[in-house]
A and B are shown apart, each in its own frame.
Chain A
Amino acid sequence: MTSAVLAGSALSKHFGGVLAVDNVSIELGPDAPVTTIIGPNGAGKTTLLNLLCGAIKADGGSVRLEGQDITRTHMRQRMAMGVARTFQHTGIFRGLTPTEHLVLLANRIRGIQQLRSIADLLETFHLSVHANEAAEDLNHVSQRLLEIGTMVSTAPKVLMLDEPTAGMDLAEIAQIASVIRQLRGTMQIMIIEHDIDFVLNISDRIVVLDQGRVIASGTPSEIQRDGRVAAAYMRRGHP
């Protein structure tokens, strides 16, 4: 038994001939409240997230939540147990307002306390002014924030974000970073990210994937000194 909140061990997944995730073990625990996964395109980052949240079935390996084996559960059940995720492509409910998103999913907070929590959440995610607009009318950053906020409203134990800053400018990335810093410590956070400044700035631990394997793992400064990481990025010609 470790103190990990969510732990995947020896996870593997192949698609046809491609070994997308190859014997990966990862622990998300309080020793590193914010863990980021980096790696070149096609490294298997999203596939690893999918295995951890139950969106796809692993070929081998197991997943534990607070020590309990959840390998055989699917995504909806894991969500109910406190494993929340966002997607690489923003997924909001077009016709619902931010308030309705939160009312819909804030299942652990009720009554007047719920109203207050919803107000706080809207504030935290910079959505107060848009509270009653249809989500489809919000701009890209607000939609991203809404997506994250909606997941946070379920009070998850683990929150996994797939490229939350994709397509954003510096000011917008800073906004996302500040929100994540506010959430840090209230839940275990895992982020897949390409923006290296953002990663170095936000992470307690960085895990580097390449061709389905973990090639390095450590604090931001350890990773910066690691030659293999730079090499993996060079070889693929990644930004």
Chain B
Amino acid sequence: MTQALARKLPDPRRKPARYLAPYLVMGAFAVTFIALPAFGLQRSTLSLLSLAVIFGIAVMSLDYIYGYGGMMSFGHAALFGFGAYIAGFSLQLVSRELFVGLPIAVASTALLAAAWGILLGRLEGVAFAMGTLALASSLRILIIQWRDVTGGTDGLVALPLVEVFGQGLKPTAVYYLSVVIACLTFLVLRYIVRTRYGLALQAVRDNPMRAEAAGIHVYAHRVGAMSISGGIAGMAGALFVYLQGSVDPSALGWQQSGHFMIQLLMGGPGTVVGPMIAAIAMTFLQHWLSAVTTHWELILGTAVVLFVYFTPRGILPGIMDWISRYRRRKGA
């Protein structure tokens, strides 16, 4: 009986190879990035690596709402920057403890993002994207104008080190913290998208009208997804402040939002890890290219166009498709 059943069962938990690929890539990332400091990196390289990983976390949060929720955001840097400012304020005013400041930043940004979701959750496609752009700009203007509190265009500077149980976190510690949080973010997001809650979000992405007909509350799922994504973006922003010791309004700018979106599209939305790797790679490329040539934006832009042309669904899915085609040809 059980045997007959087992034979009949197309086990939903059996993962074809393409489900495994992101985990393999993430594993490779974790091993490499944990090992890297052992090679005696320069302080500036370590700091660039940390920054790249932190942007990677922010882009993963963007993948959750776009790759899985179909909501394109051109204002994600504002959530990232908001988290950074809140983390900065709590370093100054509340406590230097990581376990106090980080949750405050995450919760505040999740709330702000939920409010965005409440305002925009009934809009589709481009209208939603424009809405995020508008909300992000207003937030940036507010921060620039409210000089007494935010320091205006100078931002928050000379912030104290974040501490864990009274010990100040050195750059290496912030680096490891970022790598660990990147891995956790990946695992948590990949877990959520396999649950019924996450599947419902993907149904909303693919076909909001039919999802509604199937009994899924489209609006509520959008608000929920925005809030989860915002919480993660805010966490990345907090790490950014812990790394830099400062934050200014450029962290909230639409250029930064645009970078996040490009990194997402290049890496492959709906894989979580692809966009993270793309964010890391592009942060590095940008740094190196800008050191050798003033035309770095042109070069990077051309590369982006070529990649999007040849792998329209993103680099990681492109590679996965290529491998499975190759294997099928070999197998057949």
Give me the interface of A with B, judged by CB distance under 8 Å.
Answer: 53, 55, 75-76, 79-80, 85, 87, 91-96, 99-100, 103-105, 107, 115-116, 118-120, 122-123, 128, 131-132, 150-151, 154
CA distance A128 to B10 in the complex (A): 7
What are the residues of chain A within 8 A of B205 when measuring CB–CB?
95
Residue of A nearest to B10 (CB): A131
Nearest 4 pairs between A and B by C-beta? A131-B10, A91-B210, A79-B215, A93-B206
B199 at the interface (CB under 8 A from A): yes
Residue of B nearest to A129 (CB): B10
Count B interface residues, CB 8 Å: 26
Contacts A95-B202, A119-B10 known; list 18 others, CB within 8 Å.
A80-B215, A91-B207, A91-B209, A92-B210, A93-B202, A93-B207, A95-B206, A95-B270, A103-B199, A104-B200, A105-B215, A115-B9, A116-B5, A118-B12, A123-B8, A131-B10, A132-B10, A151-B214
What are the residues of chain A within 8 A of B200 when measuring CB–CB?
104
What are the residues of chain B within 8 A of A104 when measuring CB–CB?
196, 199-200, 203
CA distance A135 to B177 in the complex (A): 39
CA distance A85 to B210 in the complex (A): 10
Instruction: Say whether, besides A99-B12, A128-B10, A119 and B203 are in contact (CB < 8 Å).
Output: no
B12 touches A94 (CB 8 A): no
A131 touches B215 (CB 8 A): no
B14 at the interface (CB under 8 A from A): yes
A76 touches B217 (CB 8 A): yes
A119 touches B9 (CB 8 A): yes
Interface of A, secondary structure class, is: helix
CA distance A100 to B10 in the complex (A): 12
CA distance A75 to B12 in the complex (A): 29
Return the contact of B12 from the options A55, A100, A105, A120 (Cβ within 8 A).
A100
What are the residues of chain A within 8 A of B8 when measuring CB–CB?
119-120, 123, 128
Residues 161-205 (chain B) with a chain A CB within 8 angstroms: 196, 199-200, 202-203, 205
CA distance A102 to B10 in the complex (A): 12
What are the residues of chain B within 8 A of A94 when measuring CB–CB?
206-207
A55 touches B203 (CB 8 A): no
Q: List 30 A-B contacts (CB under 8 A).
A: A55-B213, A76-B213, A76-B215, A76-B217, A79-B213, A79-B215, A80-B215, A87-B213, A91-B207, A91-B213, A92-B206, A92-B207, A92-B210, A93-B210, A99-B10, A100-B199, A100-B202, A103-B12, A103-B196, A104-B196, A104-B203, A107-B215, A115-B12, A119-B5, A119-B10, A131-B10, A131-B12, A132-B10, A132-B12, A132-B16
B154 at the interface (CB under 8 A from A): no
B5 touches A87 (CB 8 A): no
B211 at the interface (CB under 8 A from A): yes
Instruction: Say whether, besides A94-B207, A99-B12, A119-B10, A150 and B214 are in contact (CB < 8 Å).
Output: yes
Residue of A nearest to B199 (CB): A104
Shortest distance between the CB of A113 and any CB in chain B (Å): 11
CA distance A122 to B210 in the complex (A): 20
What are the residues of chain B within 8 A of A80 when measuring CB–CB?
215
What are the residues of chain A within 8 A of B217 when measuring CB–CB?
76
B212 at the interface (CB under 8 A from A): yes
What are the residues of chain B within 8 A of A122 when measuring CB–CB?
10
CA distance A162 to B66 in the complex (A): 32
CA distance A151 to B212 in the complex (A): 13
Residue interface bits B25-36, CB-to-A below 8 A is 1, else 0: 000000000000
CA distance A76 to B9 in the complex (A): 31
Return the contact of A75 from the options B9, B196, B207, B212 (Cβ within 8 A).
B212
Residue of B nearest to A119 (CB): B9
What are the residues of chain A within 8 A of B202 when measuring CB–CB?
93, 95-96, 100
What are the residues of chain B within 8 A of A76 when measuring CB–CB?
212-213, 215-217
CA distance A112 to B46 in the complex (A): 49
What are the residues of chain B within 8 A of A151 when measuring CB–CB?
214
Shortest distance between the CB of A94 and any CB in chain B (Å): 5
What are the residues of chain A within 8 A of B216 when measuring CB–CB?
76
CA distance A53 to B16 in the complex (A): 38
B10 touches A79 (CB 8 A): no
CA distance A87 to B212 in the complex (A): 13
What are the residues of chain A within 8 A of B9 when measuring CB–CB?
115-116, 119
Residue of B nearest to A54 (CB): B213
Instruction: Say whether, besides A76-B215, A104-B199, A119-B5, A87 and B10 are in contact (CB < 8 Å).
Output: no
CA distance A150 to B11 in the complex (A): 17
CA distance A92 to B203 in the complex (A): 8
Residue of B nearest to A85 (CB): B213
What are the residues of chain A within 8 A of B203 when measuring CB–CB?
93, 96, 104
Residue of A nearest to B205 (CB): A95
CA distance A115 to B5 in the complex (A): 10
B199 touches A96 (CB 8 A): yes
What are the residues of chain B within 8 A of A103 when measuring CB–CB?
12, 196, 199
Among B10, B11, B211, residue most surrounded by chain A Cβ atoms (within 10 Å): B10
Residue of A nearest to B70 (CB): A95
